[in-house]
A and B are shown apart, each in its own frame.
Chain A
């Protein structure tokens, strides 16, 4: 239990550090926006210090619901629980965010929520195929048992495309690179993003907190597929994610339909190929 709690707290701490690192590195690169080193943390604190712009009780509570589900899911992933339980938690978390965006008359928020639902179909497909592949390879859906299997026989060697697909799904959720739907929160354009238009003040703070926790969930989830010790695997996935965040600064944006195609090909297609491949070998 202690290990689970340590992981839980550790992930909550490490993810903001990744965002801080991204901010610091990007600030040091010529041509990129310069900001204070602790800008992401400062912005979160600032959100929590403000009240919501509009009096929208329902909208205000949806991010809280999402944050609660994110925390519960983080606990499950830290404990190496059943992957389906983790998928379920992520889906419920997303539901609260999307429904929250729809619960006002903000057209941008509603439009973004529609894209968000299409996006959800992609990453939940990737996760479910990853779960099926994991069961096929390791004979269990419980991540804590899968990691034991990985110790004996490297899981990555059997599920390389699934791991890549999961990383792509993490990029989709983080709106990075060629998988940017233009609806989610990026570090530097948080306030301008459509999905979060209806939120303000503390609600926005909860949204950002939820997003950070979610990033941690994805990184921890991917780390179960990597062949090293849990801490090293987590750090490796974090470093890769940081690299993707940095690359995102120089990658051109695309229309959401194109992004959707990319997402289905990479996040949906890779795990599907790997899944079929498991039957061939």
Chain B
């Protein structure tokens, strides 16, 4: 097994163990930050350097099995100590299945157990970039947060440990080659999120507890299905499903889909995900980005070959479910006022996009990987901005961001430019690619939902931009000072965000150079596809580049003029007049219409139909 791959997946766990030896405080924070940067550097090395066999390390199968069993037992013990008896029953069941399966069948694990595919590498780089830049901001924020709460250092330690384990789990999910591996790394993800949520434990977060139980139930079903798959295929290797699995493929595909949705908490229901992520903004951001966006897409890409071979009914339903997640996320971002919730809604929308688009062709997989990676980085940048804003101003309410262009001009410019970069994709490039790649060509309902989501997300960004550039109601403005760390991180992260957006086109060129694995689905139109004009290919001179540069130059000019002549900008009328609070974008919907309820009914019905169709294939 490649030593570097092993390092990316298990390095954070080793660092986690080392971190326990470091006393809590500044040293511990610096250690975590260095770990995040190391994670990023290793991911970039993996992306850039071709895989070599020079640093191979043989690890016996039994080691993986023991780690998996130990993880299940750890959850069992921990849940008993926490008095989460349902989870303990489920973890006990998992442990028993694992042990019995091992005694009866003793299956050989996939070789290599973890390895990165070309798409996994892109997502890994995006995820590690997010952690490298966002973790320092998060830790500085948490230092202030915990000092205000007078919390014990244990909680801070839990969050730090959770972040390290989150990195390992994400890398593992992107690299896992076997069903057992997926089980193991989803469990790590569960433990990581559980650790973080424990640090911000609230008795009001009952739905989150229910979600955790459902996640464990889904993992138990997954674990229970591994012996069944092994009996059919004689292997626990994911790609062994490719041949001769019959109609049971549908059930396995739906199980993989359901596990991803549940484990990623991608349920388009405000009560569920808002409650689940009701933790401070940066923490919710990092969890959502890794657990709900990057990891689900990375996992589903592994099953791409399985989904593309499914019958149309189940595929259509799954695609509709993806677009429903997209529309749901966009709707909830419309009705939220807190910046973190808005961004979470947009992230859910991005994740829904990934789920909708990943299943049809190699082109759509490439597109999904590129879009997910770049949109995640861009939204993380916005998350970093609102974290800094909350750190300095103590609020993340969008309505309180009036005057920002005067108080924090660099921040307002960075945020506006990032939002505009994000806007270009939905309005120009995205729909064009949806149509050219034709992955929604046979799904008009999905296309309508997707377009609705794109429009709503764009409207939310417009609303936010209009607030950022508003005059506000203050007559005297004092410019805020940033802590030095933020002053360094923010511009650097902005440059990375812009670079990620500008090099979007290069991702396709990268894919084009990669050998197509297994030859299961040739990328027939990738040549044409990668040459499509648009903002995604901004490195190439063309209308897209001119247009994007034009917008940013005009925006920069507006900011410059504002700064240069801003002092003269005084309202001569009633200086006490208060700015209007923004309408909700859904204020026009009649009171008797409840979109949240409609969304809930829709996802429950769809989930039931998908399950029904999948089970009917078992006959």
Q: Report if B306 contacts A (CB, 8 A).
A: no
* B569 at the A interface (CB under 8 A): yes
The residue of chain B having its C-beta at the shortest distance from the C-beta of A57 within the complex is B565
A114 close to chain B: CB less than 8 A? yes
Size of the A side of the interface (Cβ < 8 Å), in residues, is 55
Which residues does chain B contribute within 8 Å of A270, judged by CB atoms? Answer: none
Assembly CA distance A272 to B448 (angstroms): 7
* Complex alpha-carbon distance, A274 and B562, angstroms: 46
Per-residue CB contact flags for chain A residues 98-130 toward chain B (1 = under 8 Å, else 0) read 110111110100110111011011001100110
**Cβ-neighbour of A110 out of B452, B533, B580 (below 8 A):** B580
User: Of all chain A residues, which has the CB nearest B459?
Assistant: A121
Q: Is the CB of B503 closer than 8 A to any CB of chain A?
A: no
Chain B residues contacting A95 (CB-CB under 8 Å) are 462, 465
B424 at the interface (CB under 8 A from A): yes
Give the interface SS of chain A, mostly helix, strand, loop or mixed.
helix
CB within 8 Å for A65 and B558 given contacts A88-B547, A121-B585, A131-B431? yes
Q: Are A118 and B583 in contact (CB under 8 A)?
A: yes
Our count of residue pairs bridging A and B at CB distance below 8 angstroms stands at 152
Q: Is the CB of B466 within 8 A of A84?
A: no
A85 within 8 A of B: yes
Residues of B within 8 A of A114 (CB): 463, 466, 580, 582-583
Residue in A82, A117, A276 whose Cβ sees the most chain B Cβ within 10 Å: A117
B245 within 8 A of A: no
Q: A54-B572, A88-B424 are in contact. Are A279 and B551 (CB under 8 A)?
A: no
Given contacts A117-B459, A121-B455, A275-B447, contact A102 B467 (CB under 8 A): yes
Let me know if A125 and B451 touch, CB within 8 A.
yes
Complex Cα–Cα for A15 and B441 (A): 37
Contact A120 B554 (CB under 8 A): no
Chain A residues closer than 8 Å to B432, beta-carbon distance: 82, 84, 141
**Taking the complex as formed, is B588 at the interface, i.e. its CB lies under 8 A from any CB of chain A?**
yes
A84 to B583, CA, bound (A): 28
Task: Give complex CA distance A62, B419 in Å.
Answer: 18
A74 CA to B590 CA, complexed, in Å: 37
Bound CA–CA A56/B558 (angstroms): 11
Contact across chains for A103 and B469 when beta carbons are under 8 A apart: yes
A55 within 8 A of partner (CB): yes
Q: Mark B466-481, 1 if CB is under 8 A from A, else 0.
A: 1101111100000000
Is B431 touching A117 in the complex (CB atoms < 8 A)?
A: no
Is B587's CB within 8 Å of the partner chain A?
A: yes
Contact call A91/B551, Cβ cutoff below 8 A: no
Asked if residues B579 and A105 are in contact (CB atoms below 8 Å), the reply is: yes
Set of chain A residues within 8 Å of B459, measured between Cβ atoms? 117-118, 120-121
A135 CB within 8 Å of chain B = yes
Given contacts A121-B456, A124-B455, contact A57 B568 (CB under 8 A): yes
* A111→B578 CA distance, assembly (Å): 12
Is B485 part of the contact surface with A, judged by Cβ < 8 Å?
Answer: no
Chain B's closest residue to A91 (CB) is: B427
Known: A121-B585, A132-B447. A54 touches B458 (CB 8 A): no
From A98, A132, A276, contact of B435 by CB (8 A): A132
The answer to whether A58 and B558 touch across the interface, beta carbons within 8 angstroms, is yes
A217 to chain B, nearest CB (A): 15
Interface positions, chain A 31-57, Cβ under 8 Å from B, are 54-57
Q: Are A118 and B585 in contact (CB under 8 A)?
A: yes
User: Using Cβ atoms and an 8 Å threshold, which residues of chain A touch B569?
Assistant: 55-58
Measured between C-beta atoms, what is the minimum distance from A278 to chain B in Å?
A: 8
A98 to B462, CA, bound (A): 9
Q: Is the CB of A276 within 8 A of B554?
A: no
A residues less than 8 Å from B561 (CB atoms): 57-58, 61
Given A57-B565, A58-B558, A124-B458: A118 and B588 within 8 A (CB)? yes
Chain A residue nearest to B435 (CB atoms) is A135
Assembled-state Cα–Cα distance A82/B533 (Å):
10
Q: Are A104 and B455 in contact (CB under 8 A)?
A: no
In Å, the complex CA distance between A57 and B462 comes to 21
- Set B543, B554, B580, B583: member contacting A65, Cβ < 8 A: B554
Q: Per a CB cutoff under 8 Å, which of A62, A84, A117 touches B428?
A: A84
How many Å lie between the Cα of A109 and that of B428 in the bound state? 28
Q: Assess whether A261 is interfacial by the CB under 8 Å rule.
A: yes
CB distance from A233 to the nearest CB of B (A): 24
CB-defined contacts of B579 to chain A, threshold 8 Å: 105, 107, 110
A55 — which chain B residues lie within 8 A by C-beta? Answer: 565, 568-570
| Docked complex Cα distance between A85 and B455 (Å) | 15
**B573: A residues at CB distance < 8 A:** 105
How many Å from the CB of B472 to the closest CB on chain A?
7
20 further interface pairs, Cβ-Cβ under 8 Å (given A61-B561, A111-B583, A275-B448): A54-B572, A55-B568, A55-B569, A57-B566, A58-B469, A58-B562, A65-B554, A68-B554, A72-B547, A72-B550, A82-B432, A102-B466, A110-B580, A114-B466, A114-B582, A121-B459, A131-B431, A135-B435, A257-B590, A261-B588
Nearest 5 A-B pairs (CB), nearest first? A260-B588, A57-B565, A102-B466, A114-B583, A88-B428
What are 17 of the A-B contact pairs (CB < 8 Å)? Answer: A57-B561, A58-B561, A65-B554, A85-B428, A91-B458, A95-B465, A103-B469, A103-B470, A105-B577, A115-B583, A120-B462, A125-B455, A131-B431, A132-B447, A132-B451, A141-B432, A257-B590
